[in-house]
Structure 1
């Protein structure tokens, strides 16, 4: 299991040109504990934080469709990304964080 500090995540967010979401401190902790395990770092099969080309097809489906995929799980992703503490608002913020969607 990889370990990422909050500062590493913030640096990754600041270096990314696609990330437009501003998550709360709680949501950053949820990101670190759940999403970062798979979505930070290079993978052929997992969309990566800050890598616009990984998200473009998913983003075309829209936030609501992506939310449903996250809630239900899709492909190798478990339902809710194993985040039992995440509310729908948290999941939406984390989707925006990862995908670069603005939520508008």
Structure 2
């Protein structure tokens, strides 16, 4: 039984090290300093972080369209969402984080 637990632990560690890039941790400092201002509470119609249903119609348009919206601004969201030092990879990780179910 002890060997089975060790094997399960080893498999978990190995699997985590091979996680796809799309599951990368979002830059939480950037989320907290820019995105959370509106997305934590839904200010001005922003889809709330963790509200999968609110994000679904936006995600259905595809990541390319999402990135155009972020970079150019949309409705009350200013261009770049006030994160002027975010890379495209940062934005994608933040979008994935905000559109995932709340834990």
Q: What TM-score do you get using the length of structure 1 for normalisation?
A: 0.68
Aligned 8 A contact 1:70 1:80 in 2: yes
Residues matched between the structures, number: 79
Tell me the alpha carbon deviations over residues 22-73 of structure 1, each in whole angstroms, 9 at most, x when there is no partner.
425xx11000100001000245711000111111110110111101100100
Structure 2: where are the runs of 5+ without partners? 1-21
Aligned to 1:3: none
Is the 1:67–1:95 contact (alpha carbons within 8 Å) kept by the matching residues of 2?
A: no
Larger-Rg structure: 2
- SS, match of residue 48 in structure 1: coil
CA RMSD of aligned residues (A): 1.8
Corresponding residue number in structure 1 for 2:90: 90
Query: Is the Cα contact below 8 Å between 2:38 and 2:44 reproduced in 1?
Result: no
Task: Give the structure-2-normalised TM-score.
Answer: 0.69
User: Aligned pair in 2 of structure 1 residues 47, 21: CA closer, same or farther (>3 Å)?
Assistant: farther
Judge conservation of contact 1:30–1:83 (CA < 8 Å) in 2: yes
Match of 2:25 among 23, 26, 44: 23
